[in-house]
Amino acid sequence: MHNNQQQHQHLGIVDSLLMQMFGLPKGILGRLGGFILARTKHDFTQWVIDLLEIQPDEKVLEVGFGPGVGIEILATAVSTGYVAGVDYSQEMVEQARVRNEKAIETGLVQLQYGSVEKLPFANDTFDKALAINSMQVWLDAMVGLRSIWRVMKVGGKIALGFTPHSGQSSTGLTEMLTTAGFTEAHLVETDRGFCVLAIK
């Protein structure tokens, strides 16, 4: 086998392992990926959530919540509102449910298995929405963004955050949000990563 072929095959295997661990966490590797994400992404997640300026009475949606660290932070920010989450990995829904058990019991948090393309919510439901290191692995980012737009209230704010090794480029992101129907799309950057914010 030629070196290039070997390299491509190797990259294919690495990509597929990374996908099982972090992209769409599945099985033992997925569970391990969830534990790693929970330990390493807290500060970045807090930064993105701070940008959203959540108010206590707001209804907030997180798509692709992974191990549920963001959900945990959001639950401390709302008191009369609530936090809903949708993730396309059964393993992550399970981990996030364990992490947020108490808030789920009180009804403050509701987590569901599902895909961003088919969000199980009525139009104009949420004041705020976010996704962190998730959009780059959606099957169709534009369909996903339009779906989030549909379930947000007019005037609601969206935040899409990405850390440096997420695989998502910041180029063209504000244009994508505008094409999906959002306004005032702008990019904010730190040494930990970047976030695009926009308004429905």
- Closer by beta carbon to ligand SAM, 70 or else 156: 70
Question: For residues 21 and 97, what is the distance between their CA atoms, to the nearest angstrom?
Answer: 18
Q: Which residues neighbour 60 within 8 Å (Cβ) at sequence distance 6 or greater?
A: 52, 54, 74, 77, 78, 81, 82, 83, 84, 126, 127, 128, 129, 130
Question: Is residue 48 a contact residue for ligand SAM (CB under 6 A)?
Answer: no
Among 18, 51, 55, 115, binds ligand SAM (CB under 6 A): 115
- Closer by beta carbon to ligand SAM, 166 or else 174: 166
User: Could you say which residues in the range 164-183 bind ligand SAM, by CB under 6 A?
Assistant: none
Question: Is residue 185 a contact residue for ligand SAM (CB under 6 A)?
Answer: no
The residue whose Cβ lies closest to ligand SAM is 66
Q: Which amino acid is located at 26 in the chain?
A: K
* Measured CA distances, 26 to 23, 55, 108 (Å): 9, 34, 27
Q: Which residues lie near ligand SAM (CB under 6 A)?
A: 22, 24-25, 37, 41, 45, 63-66, 70, 86-89, 92, 115-116, 132-134, 137-139
